[in-house]
Structure 1
Amino acid sequence: MNNTSSPRFDSVQCLDTRGLHRMAWTEWGDPHNPRVLLCVHGLTRQGRDFDTLAQALAVDYRVVCPDVVGRGRSDWLADPAGYAIPSYVADMVTLIARLNARELHWVGTSMGGLIGISLAGLQNSPIRKLVLNDVGPKIEFEALTRIGEYLGERAHWATVDEAADALWELSKSFGPHTREQWLALTRPQLIPDGAGFKPHYDPRLALPFHAVTPQVAAAGELMLWHLYDQIQCPTMVIRGAESDLLSAATTQLMAQRGPRARVHEVAGVGHAPMLVQPDQVEAVRSFLLGP
C-alpha cells in the first residue's frame, strides 16, 4: 500500500531561451493514481505551502506541488525575462506531460491562479476543475505596488524564528495562523546563507515585476479576461474578504462571466488564504470532489 502521508520529491527538465532548467516538485498520494491535482503557489512562495491541503486530498488524488522556476528547489533562470506567465505555462505543460494525468484538477494561489487561467483558457486544455485562490483577471494595481515594495529585497536572518517573525510582518493578510502552522509555512521559504538564512527565491524575480506599468497591467487584464471567458471547466474562486488584490467587484464579474465561478469568501483574511485552516481545506475538498 502506498504511503499517502509522506512527501516524495522529483523534478523535470524544461526549455527556456538559454537552454534547459530544472523544475522541482513535491508529490503526495499514490504515484499511480491517474487523477492528478496540481497545486501552484504564489509569486515568492513554493510548493510546500500546500502540505496541509495535499495531505487532506492524498487519498483521492496524486497531489503534485511544483516549485515554479526561480523558487524553492527549482533552478534559477539565466535570463530573468523568463520569469513571466507564458513561460510558467509552458513549464506546466511539460510537467503535465510527464505526469500523464488522465484527469487533471488545479488549485492556484495568486500567481498560480493566473497560470491556471492561462492554461484552462486554452483550446483542448487538460484542466477539468479549477480553483482560483484570491486572484482573477483583474489585479488591483495598488496591490502590485505593495508587493513591489519588498519583492527582491535582500534579507538575512540569524534564525528560523527571526525569519518567521519578519515574514509574518509582510504576511499578516494571510490570516490567523498558530505559531506551529506559521513555522511550517516559513521553513521551506528559507535557504541557508552563511550563519543564517535568506529567502528561497531568485531576487531577480523583481526585474520583470517592476517593469509592469499600469498600461502593461491593463493589456494583461484584457488578455486574461479573454482566456477566462474561454474556460469550460467548473471553476471556484476563493476570496479573502479583506483582499486588496482581488476586489469584490471582480469576483462578482467572475461569477457572471466565462465559467461562472462559484464564489467562496473567507472572513478575516486578505491576500491570500493559505488553505491551511480546516474550513478552507474543506471548501476546496468539497468543490473538487463534488459533482
Structure 2
Amino acid sequence: MAAHRPAHDDQDTKLTDTPRDTRETQTEPASDPGRAAPYIDRFWESDDGLQLHYRDYEGPEGSDALPALCIPGLTRNARDFESLAETLAEDRRVLVAELRGRGLSEQPRDAASYTPVTYAQDIAGLFAQEGIARAVFIGTSLGGIVTMLYALSQPEQVAGAVLNDIGPEIEQAGLDRIAGYVGQGRNYPTWMHAARALQESQGECYPDWGLDEWLAHAKRLMVMGNNGRIGFDYDSRIADAFARDDDRSEDDAPAPVSLWPGFDALSGRPVLVLRGENSDLLSPATAAKMAERWPEVALVTVPRTGHAPTLDEPQSREAIAALLQRTG
C-alpha cells in the first residue's frame, strides 16, 4: 500500500481518514451545510498510487471558456476556494485540487514526497485523467509555486496564472513564521476555541476581521475528528521539510533554488500577481520585479491584508475577472 492512513484520534497527524476511491460523491459546502454542494467530489490516482481528491464545479453545459484549476497553499484544502470557485463556475468548469496529505487526499507513507516537484507531477496526472489540454491556474502561496513549476514542464497547458502572494523570491521572515506553527498538531475542544486561536496567531494578517470571519476561517482550515477534537486538516509531516532545513549547518545547506525560471516559463501568458499589503512572504521589491518582467503581468496589492489574500476581496475578484477575460 502506498497510502498512510492515520487514526482519527492521533492529534499529531491529519484528523480525517475518509475512505477514498474514484467514485463520485456529493457533499455539503462548509459555508452552508443545509444546501446541496455546487460541486462533485472526485479523485485521481498519483504515480505512486495515492488517491487524490479534487472538487469539480462542472460549470454550464457547452461553455467554451477555459477551465480553471485552483491549487491551495501549504496547510490549506479545497474549502479555501469555496466562494471563488462557485462564482467562477457560472461560466466555466472549475477544479479545486487538494494536494497529497491535505483534506480528502491520501497521505504518502514517505513524507519525503511532500515537495513542490511531486505536487506538480500529481497535477499532471489530474490533467491526464480529465483530458484537460489547457487551463487557467490560480495558486495561493505553495499553489503558486506548483503553478510555476508546472509551467516549466508543461507550458502548453498553462493558459494564464494567478499567483496569490507568492513569487520567485520568498522572504525568510515569512518562512520562519510558517515554520513556527506548521505541523504542531494543535487541536481545540470547540470551534470558538479554534477561531480564537487563529485570531491570536494570524490577527496581523487580517486585522479587520470580526468573530464571524474567524469562525469561517477555522471551518475552512480545520475538521472535527472522531474524538470530538478540532484540528488542522493536513498531515503534520508536511512540516518535515522545515525540520530538515533547520537541522542542517550552513555548510551543509543546499543552495537556494531559483524560481525565476518557473516564473519566466509563464512569459507570453496573462499573469496576475496578487500581494497582500502586509505580506511577509512576497516583498514589494520582488512583486515589482515580477510586474516589470514582461507586459502581460498585472500587479494588484490587496490593502490591509497579510499572507495571503483570501481571493474574496473586491480587489482580488476584479483582478481575477479581468485576467479571465484575457485568457478566455
Q: Which amino acid in structure 1 is aligned with residue 161 of structure 2?
A: L
Aligned counterparts of 1:31 and 1:167: Cα–Cα separation in 2: 37
C-alpha contact 1:48 1:185 (8 A) present in aligned 2 = no
| Partner residue of 1:125 out of 136, 156, 175 | 156
Confirm whether residue 238 of structure 1 aligns to residue 274 of structure 2.
Answer: yes
Instruction: Mark the structure with the bigger radius of gyration.
Output: 2
DSSP-derived class of the 1:10 partner: strand
Confirm whether residue 227 of structure 1 aligns to residue 262 of structure 2.
Answer: yes
Q: Which amino acid in structure 2 is aligned with residue 276 of structure 1?
A: D
CA pair 205-160 structure 1, distance change in 2 beyond 3 A: same
Residue matched to 1:274: 310
Correspondence list, 1:83-94, <5 A: 83-94=114-125
Aligned counterparts of 1:278 and 1:5: Cα–Cα separation in 2: 24
Confirm whether residue 44 of structure 1 aligns to residue 80 of structure 2.
Answer: no
Correspondence list, 1:253-264, <5 A: 253-257=289-293, 261-264=297-300
1:244-276, Cα deviation, whole Å (9 max, x unpaired): 100011011111226752100111111110112
Q: Which amino acid in structure 2 is aligned with residue 271 of structure 1?
A: H
Confirm whether residue 211 of structure 1 aligns to residue 244 of structure 2.
Answer: yes
Identity among equivalent pairs (%): 33
Residue matched to 1:28: 57
Aligned counterparts of 1:29 and 1:191: Cα–Cα separation in 2: 25
Normalising to structure 2: TM-score of the pair? 0.80
Confirm whether residue 141 of structure 1 aligns to residue 172 of structure 2.
Answer: yes
- Where in structure 2 are there 5+ consecutive unaligned residues? 1-35
How many aligned residue pairs are there? Answer: 284
| RMSD of aligned alpha carbons | 2.4
CA pair 272-212 structure 1, distance change in 2 beyond 3 A: same
DSSP-derived class of the 1:54 partner: helix
- Where in structure 1 are there 5+ consecutive unaligned residues? none
C-alpha contact 1:173 1:272 (8 A) present in aligned 2 = no
Structure number having the greater helix percentage:
1
Aligned counterparts of 2:194 and 2:307: Cα–Cα separation in 1: 20
C-alpha contact 1:231 1:259 (8 A) present in aligned 2 = no
C-alpha contact 2:205 2:278 (8 A) present in aligned 1 = no
Residue matched to 2:39: 7
Aligned counterparts of 1:179 and 1:290: Cα–Cα separation in 2: 37
Q: Which amino acid in structure 2 is aligned with residue 55 of structure 1?
A: E
| Partner residue of 1:73 out of 104, 119, 133 | 104
DSSP-derived class of the 1:15 partner: coil
Residue matched to 1:189: 221
The Cα shift of 1:169 comes to 2.3
C-alpha contact 1:122 1:227 (8 A) present in aligned 2 = no
Confirm whether residue 150 of structure 1 aligns to residue 181 of structure 2.
Answer: yes
